[in-house]
Structure 1
């Protein structure tokens, strides 16, 4: 992927952090907001699933190589 494209995407990332109410600078909800908001919980669940699938696929690729040694 083009490095300029990646850098552009990364610079736009902070703009999405204030996506819904509850992300105001003076709000002091902290971790409670992230653990009780369905928007954050669904994103967290999706990230955990994706990480699990990636980990599982990497382990499946390594397993046949270990048996051939």
Structure 2
């Protein structure tokens, strides 16, 4: 399976991990502080940043060689 298909598959599963959860005590439920301050959302943000960074580094290394 091509790597882009794997990424698209994983990204399509993200909405299932963002289902409402108890403990909406950090700010408004729709604010940036809620998504960055609660672990239920922050880990997804970290995983996404790491995956995108890895993909960008790999793609630039392939294009330069």
Which TM class, normalised by the smaller chain length?
0.5 to 0.7
Aligned length: 52
TM-score computed with the length of structure 2 as normaliser: 0.58
Structure 1 runs (4+) deviating above 4 angstroms are 12-16
- Structure with more contact order per residue of length (Cα contacts < 8 Å, sep ≥ 6): 2
* Correspondence 1:38 to 2:46: no
Rg bigger for which structure? Answer: 1
Q: Which runs of 5+ in 2 are unaligned?
A: 1-11
Q: Which runs of 5+ in 1 are unaligned?
A: 1-9, 23-27, 65-69
Tell me the secondary structure at the aligned position of residue 18 of structure 1. coil
Q: Hey, what does 2:3 align to over in structure 1?
A: none
Q: Distance in 1 between matches of 2:32 and 2:57?
A: 29
